[in-house]
Structures are given as C-alpha cells and as structure tokens.
Amino acid sequence: MLLHIPDILTADEVRRAQNLLASAPWGDGRPGAGVQAAQVKNNEQLPHDCDAAREIRTTVLRGLDANPLFFSAALPKRVFPPRLNRYGGDSNYYGNHIDGSVRYLPGTGQRVRTDVSCTVFLSDPSDYDGGELCVADTYGEQAVKLPAGHMVLYPGTSLHQVKPVTRGHRLACFFWIESMVRSDEQRRLLYELDMNLLRLRERHGETDETTGLTGCYHNLLRMWADT
C-alpha cells in the first residue's frame, strides 16, 4: 500500500526545519548504505547526532504520534529514528534499490525490521525540479512529489528511486517502521476496514453493525499482530 498522509508537520515546523537545514553540516550520503545501494546512491545526509537532526527528528516523531491516519496505516511497533537527506547540485539522485530488511537502532544493538518505508517532504515542489520518489508496486511505477510537511508511506519491499534533481534542492526526512502486522496485504485490509468504519460512523453514528465490524477489526488485529 502506498499512501499520502498530509500535514505531518505544520507550516511553522516546516519553516523551522528548513532554517535549521540551511546551515547544517551535510555529508556524503553513501556511508551506511548497503554495498549494492551505495553504487547507485548520490546524495547528502545529515549526521544523526547533530543538533539540527535531533530537533527535526523530535518534531517528526511528535507529528507521527499525533496522526491517527499514520497509526492506522502503519500499525507501528518500532520506528527507526528519522534521518535527513538532501538532493541537488552534484549529489542529486538515488538509483533503483530496495531498502535493507533490517536496520540497527543506533547505540542499542536492537534491530528494526523495515516493513514500511516513509518519507516526509521538507521542500515545496516549486523549490526544485525533478526529485520524484518513484515506487514500483503492484500497479506499476508511481511518482511521488508532495508538499512540504506531507508524508508518503509505502512497503519496504518496494523497488524505488529518487530521480535526479535538476534545479534547487530537495530536502526530506526518511525512516522505517517495523509494523505489528508484517504483511502489507493484511495491513491494507485492516486500514481499509478502519477507514470505512470511520465513514459509517460519520454517516450513521454508532449502530449494531458498526459495533460488530469494530469487533471484526480488533479480532483480525489480535490474530495478526505481533506486539
């Protein structure tokens, strides 16, 4: 499932992130990538422990916690700490690759399975040309270029790339989710059931039918979830 989630960050939070990143200590984005991915990766990345990265990471995590649509779609068990990257100039693309299946949490030795990949856009589309996130899924390749503060969520199993940025800079926050429900198909079914239940409640209020369907949702989640 590929899903656009609007307004993870407010306009003020986006401006604050952009100001922080304007003077941030950007470095080569290839260290930390797998051997195969490093051959097609040409971008810049912010050191994980710098002040700008810490502040933006906290802001993004707070936005995720406050967003019920994100929770319904991802059913997060663990969140890999968000990272920041930049595309533009001579470091302007990331070729086709699939994210590594397991990431190590910095300083803990714990592992996160990358069931769901996430990108929060921090540059407005008018600020740069190119830079589309292209994700290959069941229905072919989809190109994603969202307003600043919006997020796209897609299966970590997907082949994807960032097209070359030919003008300006593309700033983004990226991270992975280990979901309580490993299967993308099961997560999609739960998400669609949850969204349709919300619409039924808005239209008809609480009824015996919505109560029964809510029970089905939670029993499926109980059956499939690993907490």
pLDDT at 71: 98
H/E segment holding residue 221: helix 208-224
pLDDT at 108: 82
At residue 120 the predicted structure's pLDDT band, cuts being 50, 70 and 90, is: very high
C-alpha 29 chain-centroid distance: 18
Compute the mean pLDDT over every residue in the chain, rounded to the nearest whole number.
96
Percent of the chain scored above 90 by pLDDT? 92
The whole-number average pLDDT for the span 132-152 is 94
Q: Is the pLDDT of residue 150 over 80?
A: yes
Q: How many CA atoms lie within 13 A of 61 on its CB side?
A: 14
Please name the residue that has the structure tokens 């986006």. 14
Q: Measured between alpha carbons, how far is residue 101 from residues 97, 104, 112, 117, 158 in Å?
A: 12, 10, 8, 11, 11
Q: Is the pLDDT of residue 121 over 90?
A: yes
Q: Is the pLDDT of residue 6 over 90?
A: yes
Domain ranges of the chain: 3-179, 184-224
At residue 207 the predicted structure's pLDDT band, cuts being 50, 70 and 90, is: very high
Nearest CA to 120 out of 146, 86, 157 is that of: 146
Q: Is the pLDDT of residue 31 over 90?
A: no
Nearest CA to 193 out of 205, 183, 201 is that of: 201
Q: Could you read off the pLDDT of 78-110 as tens digits, one per residue? A: 999 999 999 999 999 999 999 999 999 887 888
The CATH-assigned architecture of domain 3-179 is Sandwich (2.60)
pLDDT at 39: 93
The whole-number average pLDDT for the span 116-123 is 98
The hierarchical CATH code for the domain 184-224 is 4.10.860
Percent of the chain scored above 70 by pLDDT? 100
Residue 177 contacts residue 157 (beta carbons within 8 Å): no
Q: How many CA atoms lie within 13 A of 15 on its CB side?
A: 3
Structure-block tokens of residue 82? 């968000």
Sign of CA dihedral 62, 79, 155, 184: negative
